[in-house]
Structure 1
Amino acid sequence: MSATVITDPAQLPIAFEHALNAGDVDTVLTLFAPDAAMRTVAGEFITGAEALRAEFGGTVAARGKLTNAQRHTFVGAGTALLVNDWTLEIDTPDGERIARTGTTANIARQDPYAGTWAFAVLNPLGTA
């Protein structure tokens, strides 16, 4: 596992895409705050490292390939709202390759001492 140091919140989605596409779940998890939460594409709300590991591990197992296109990064008071358009290609259990798309509404927070950024809430379903 290589710890990824993010000093610009706009770099979080890029680092996430690269690590996930490389199948490196350990590095993906370094991009999240310890108490981070996520709303999955199935609409389930999960929290904690083990739940996130299971979610991303499933994506890797399905040969997931993520593409992010940044729309906006709004920063204020040590918090950032990250809005990205995404496409995720995966293999279904029956072997079909499908692509899902959406727009995120992710929240990152800054460590006030180190100045680094990490995801606090990941919501690939945006406002849905």
Structure 2
Amino acid sequence: MLNAIKDRVHERPSEVGETPATAAGGLTRAGFLRLLGTGLFAGGAGLSATGLFAQTSSDTAPVTDIDKVYDAWQDRFNAGDLDGLIALYAEDVTYINPDGAEWIGKAATKADYAELLALKPRIEIGDRIHVVHQDIGLSTNHWTLELTDPEGKVQTLTGGGIEVLRDFGDAGWQFIIDDASRSAS
């Protein structure tokens, strides 16, 4: 089954952002989510539509220090805290997922993350850089994401993001643009 999954992921390499690592047989986050969306993994992983949205919220406190935003994002992501994660986004956020699909608003962003968080991934965000002008921050990072496929094999993906944040005062720093489809080098 894993070979069939890998073959399907690499049918459209330009859409999944194939790199030398993924060309060698790794499964990208985008490919993994595409397969999940088609239902290929749903049966094997025992997921249901209601299970995808059964995330809980443990911490939605605003983050008022830009240097702590990625820590909060990483903690909430790794905890599967969908509501807490989405609380870090502005209502009218522009979110570009690793596939390059653009989503506008919290609801669309939440739906995209719900699929990923259902897989119980772990992320480590490094190489964090923030440049701030008044209430706007430009941030970049590199990340390593681990997912477990239905056969129990751990898939390690790497990438990066370029984000624009705004300081909303008491509501803290929130992402107004989150582009997870590329990495600043």
Report the TM-score, using the length of structure 2 for normalisation.
0.62
Partner of 1:121: 177
Identity of aligned residues (%): 24
Code of the aligned partner of 1:23: G
Deviation of 1:30 after TM superposition, in Å, equals 0.6
1:72-91 equivalent positions in 2, closer than 5 A: 72-91=129-148
1:18-57 equivalent positions in 2, closer than 5 A: 18-57=75-114
Higher strand share: 1
Higher relative contact order at CA 8 Å, sep ≥6: structure 1 or structure 2? 1
**Number of equivalent positions:** 127
Does the 8 Å contact 1:3/1:27 carry over to 2? Answer: yes
Structure 2 unaligned residues grouped into runs of 5+: 1-56
Partner of 1:103: 160
Higher helix share: 2
Deviating 4+ runs (over 4 angstroms) = none
Deviations 1:39-71 (A, max 9, x none): 111111111122111111111112211110133
Counterparts of 1:93 and 1:105, CA distance in 2: 30
Structure 1 unaligned residues grouped into runs of 5+: none
Rg bigger for which structure?
A: 2
Does the 8 Å contact 1:104/1:126 carry over to 2? Answer: yes
- Could you say what secondary structure the match of 1:105 adopts? strand
Partner of 1:62: 119
